[in-house]
Structure 1
């Protein structure tokens, strides 16, 4: 066989090395024979090849003749390279030296061919064992070379080929486990490699998105901690960077799927992606979808974000109510510095919110938060006027439904599950635009703290701190907001009575499997200062109603007598998802302890210990999955709406 290497590189010396140094290098190479488990025959063949190269290079006349041959080969226009012809008896030793010379990919390919028919060695022979070992070592080394070149997909493919070869040979179980582990660690790098490519590389980007979903699933979701090799403090900056290379529609699709699977963070991100898409595309219906998703998620502390979405939908009165309810003292003080007009304050915050938190972070969006252009758009005006007409038909008189109060909008709820999504700008000046494995990415893309793979680095980006949600962001400069289109169109157009949210449409319930118990006369709870027992009964009634709905039965009590609309809507979405899948869920939740730890005139929080289990079944009764009985500790928040106390939110401790 021919080795694609010359005598100088085989021995590891330069063309200017003198004879004495050649012999000294030979002795060093012989003294440092590999100890990975090769047979004596292979090590002897390696030594003989090294000695042959040293003898040629230390003989002045033979060396000059050889150098003339190398020069003639280099001068040819056919792209020929030097090669060494070696006998079959020294083949494995030659491949071992080729790998030691830094040509691991060539060694791996040659070893793979040597293990294929018709030149495959006899089963169980020492040559088969040594060739397999060379293939495993060369595969690992070649993958490391590709990683150092930032060609992560090529590195992964090499590992996959090596694994398939070793599995077929049925040898080197420990080496296979090492390759599997390195392939697993490469997954986030492959995602970044593929997703950062040009938008025209559709196949590569689709594969990157598929791998991203695989990575998130392996972790147990965005908030999961199931992958010890990729902990949350490393996953968060990685995911923050990944977002920069996803289009707005890709984010809408991804986050919506993850939100439907139960991720609160994905619900938040999907709402922002829908808002960004709607604002840039001038499609208010997408902002409406984002508003409904964020509202239905039941997350507390979202009032000012919901206010901005309502403002963009032209629902000024509701937006101001939500903003006043959700703004803390610092935000109110900042807003007062912007203008004396309440609507101008809201517009100033909305524009800053769009600029800092919504519009950045999408590969295909480069737009300014121009509210004047938004409200001047004919499609936006037509949508808002159409929605006004629909609401006017549903609520023909101002007495049809009371206007929402600040207590109803905010409920003075705590600010968890506090998501802090700061400005999504990064230090990247350019995007990677590689279209194949050999392209070079922008160097800035890879700067940052070290991760687990050698010679690889994560970018230094700021991931949203899941424990601290600032509900506002101070703009760089103050000043009143200009309201040309908004003032001329929104403020001067004829206003109907205060527009209310569409009523929650209860999901059609399936026929109950068994008669529901008679309603308990204790609800709605109207006591001014309810006792712990009364609050516990309210929680137990809600848990029983929720279990009935998820089981496909009719709730024993009206849901709106037990919980706020955000919790009711969330339950209805869960029930609809089950119904679409043709499944039901049997939930058992028993309150074991109930302790009020915060109490105010309009808000009460309690720490509750539950014994919980669930079981999801198909329409045929087959068990799809289940959660064994376990003890949970949750914090439940009850809010007072008028004279009624309702369950407003909960948080796992």
Structure 2
């Protein structure tokens, strides 16, 4: 029998080891014989082979000749020939040789040879000591080879070795303890195998399908996404794993998986399926998928998902129902944030929808790379055609009155409703089935029979003749598209994406949406989503973000703060410091003065002094509250904070009657000291670029928000 190893590696010494060290190493190896349960015969064979190697390597003449042979083999290998050092050993010492091969770190080779030794025609006699030793060796070598592959991150190769070892030992009915260990090792590999298989190229369909099956097996073992049945894989480990796995799944794979898990009773899977449908529908311009996503989420009956449903309805062109749902489900902080996005209520909903798409919906899919461009969505012909078709179907199943008809209908006539009002907010709504409400006397334009929603408009060639109000409805649709595109193009030209006041205090069948947020992948852009709107533009998460991450300089105007050798700041144009700022169209100089006054007042408050101008005259309540909270926190710890900033460049980038944005370059630094004046932390002076947003509240301009410039 040949062993793929040389005398040096068999004994465990290097080619540079002298004869005396060889003999000492031999004695150590003999004294440390394996104790896993091998028979005396196998251990004796091991000792004999070790002595043979030591005898050769401690004899100068024999060692010189052997090294010459190894050199010749190496030269043959360089010439392209296969030349591997090997040792010839008697068959009677087979198990001892394989044991030494395993000890030398060649577990895979030891396992393969042990497996062949247990197969006919080389299979040992049943119940013999050789059979027991080979089975034990095969189990140990299998486990060692799997661990080697795992260290190399070849998880599927490790699993295949373990499966082969289990099949071999089960067939022989040998080594129950070894089988148990291999089973445990195989179970521990399951998450890594899923990651290995799903991360492969999309063209590797067989491997990816196997990965999906293993993922379902893993989730079933846990008792579902919300389960805790797998003690070896608790939620604290499963959630980061699943967060990573989702990035390797396509949108359709997620829809299929989550839909099956939702049918098994998982509310979190129902939520994720709706998100996947929304993402694929938006990216592929397939509004029917958004309609399915809305129906799934609304049909789940979960409380607190109204803001998400409002976004889906908005994308389906249903403005009034979307606004109603948003108002119904948004908490006061979210409503306040939405009101600050523009004069029109639709502006806040569009801004919220855009950030929801960007941060919560579109990330986390292998095959989706889309921007949350609402203007492009509303301008898409397929989207418009679908929404208008759905409007016509709903209109057939409900009475429709033009404003003129309602005005002359008399006292008993129901109030006017457009086709938008017929949009079912929940599947339990009578209109959700597509059947019309019973006709009422005096209702002009009511259809005499209910229509099924699947009936196509082509079945009604004479609709215009039998329905005199069709032209009025078309006008309503045209007005709606104009309204949506105006909001997307003008109000969201520079969206306030640095703040997302997502109402996530939601319970989904006992599983908080926070569970979904934990399972979602980290967005590639921006910061993690705060639970409530973050005043002052900072991200409120468990860990305090760095100033560079938030782009929120805790600074005050301080002349002469520039670093040595830095470019000279752009001189501020002369401007009156008449504050509060109430002119209808402020100049760039006036806005710069307002910003400098805010920075100075903010620094004064943080330093414990009285500002020249009250904070309320300069910024909105969210920013003022954040500064006051920071001051109180410093005071409670007995700390003081000194911040400086100098406006070096100020440039207005967009301006409307109610909202102005400016790109600003600052020189910034800060320092925090304890009660004894000892420096705790500081930020070295450096240059920053921020975008500041000013908003007009009534007659007064305030600083509304800011973010780090991209």
Q: What SS does the aligned partner of 2:507 have?
A: coil
Tell me the equivalent position of 1:419: 513
Give the one of 168, 172, 181 matched to 1:169: 172
Task: Give yes or no for contact 1:325–1:407 (8 Å, CA) kept in 2.
Answer: no
Q: What SS does the aligned partner of 1:241 have?
A: helix
Tell me the equivalent position of 2:19: 19
Residues paired across the two proteins, number: 440
Task: For residue 338 of structure 1, report the CA deviation from its aligned partner.
Answer: 1.3
**1:617-638 deviations in Å (ceiling 9; x for gaps):** xxxxxxxxxxxxxxxxxxxxxx
1:100 equivalent to 2:100? Answer no
**1:182-236 deviations in Å (ceiling 9; x for gaps):** 1111111110110011111111111000100111111111111111111122111
1:48 equivalent to 2:48? Answer yes
Task: For residue 477 of structure 1, report the CA deviation from its aligned partner.
Answer: 9.7
- Supply the RMSD in Å over aligned alpha carbons: 2.8
Tell me the equivalent position of 2:308: 305
Change (3 A) 1:386 1:60: same
1:29 equivalent to 2:120? Answer no
Partners of 1:61 and 1:369 in 2: CA distance: 78
Task: For residue 276 of structure 1, report the CA deviation from its aligned partner.
Answer: 0.3
Task: For residue 415 of structure 1, report the CA deviation from its aligned partner.
Answer: 3.2
1:116 equivalent to 2:210? Answer no
Task: For residue 422 of structure 1, report the CA deviation from its aligned partner.
Answer: 3.9
Tell me the equivalent position of 1:382: 385
Tell me the equivalent position of 1:273: 276
Tell me the equivalent position of 2:565: none
Change (3 A) 1:73 1:159: same
Task: For residue 394 of structure 1, report the CA deviation from its aligned partner.
Answer: 1.3
Change (3 A) 1:305 1:30: same
**1:38-97 deviations in Å (ceiling 9; x for gaps):** 111100000000010011111111111111111111111212100000001110000000
Task: For residue 397 of structure 1, report the CA deviation from its aligned partner.
Answer: 2.7
Partners of 1:6 and 1:129 in 2: CA distance: 27
For structure 2, the 5+ residue unaligned runs are 402-413, 428-502, 540-710
Change (3 A) 1:246 1:406: closer
Q: What SS does the aligned partner of 1:228 have?
A: coil
For structure 1, the 5+ residue unaligned runs are 430-460, 479-653
Tell me the equivalent position of 1:61: 61
Give the one of 194, 202, 205 matched to 1:202: 205
Task: Give yes or no for contact 2:194–2:215 (8 Å, CA) kept in 1.
Answer: yes
Task: For residue 119 of structure 1, report the CA deviation from its aligned partner.
Answer: 1.1
Tell me the equivalent position of 1:495: none
Change (3 A) 1:474 1:203: farther
Asked which structure has the greater CA Rg, the reply is 2
TM-score using structure 1 length: 0.64
**1:80-124 deviations in Å (ceiling 9; x for gaps):** 100000001110000000000000000000000001111111111
Q: What SS does the aligned partner of 1:369 have?
A: coil
Change (3 A) 1:472 1:365: farther
Tell me the equivalent position of 1:243: 246
Task: For residue 470 of structure 1, report the CA deviation from its aligned partner.
Answer: 4.0
Following TM superposition, the consecutive aligned residue runs of length 4 or more in structure 1 with deviations greater than 2 angstroms are 396-409, 412-415, 420-429, 469-478
**1:448-478 deviations in Å (ceiling 9; x for gaps):** xxxxxxxxxxxxx99x9xxxx9487899699
Task: Give yes or no for contact 1:301–1:471 (8 Å, CA) kept in 2.
Answer: no
Partners of 2:535 and 2:389 in 1: CA distance: 34
Task: For residue 238 of structure 1, report the CA deviation from its aligned partner.
Answer: 0.8
Task: Give yes or no for contact 1:355–1:368 (8 Å, CA) kept in 2.
Answer: yes
Tell me the equivalent position of 1:327: 330
Task: Give yes or no for contact 2:398–2:422 (8 Å, CA) kept in 1.
Answer: no
Task: For residue 154 of structure 1, report the CA deviation from its aligned partner.
Answer: 0.7
Tell me the equivalent position of 2:133: 130
Change (3 A) 1:238 1:396: same
Task: For residue 146 of structure 1, report the CA deviation from its aligned partner.
Answer: 0.7
Task: Give yes or no for contact 1:6–1:84 (8 Å, CA) kept in 2.
Answer: yes
Change (3 A) 1:330 1:239: same
Tell me the equivalent position of 2:615: none
Change (3 A) 1:324 1:28: same
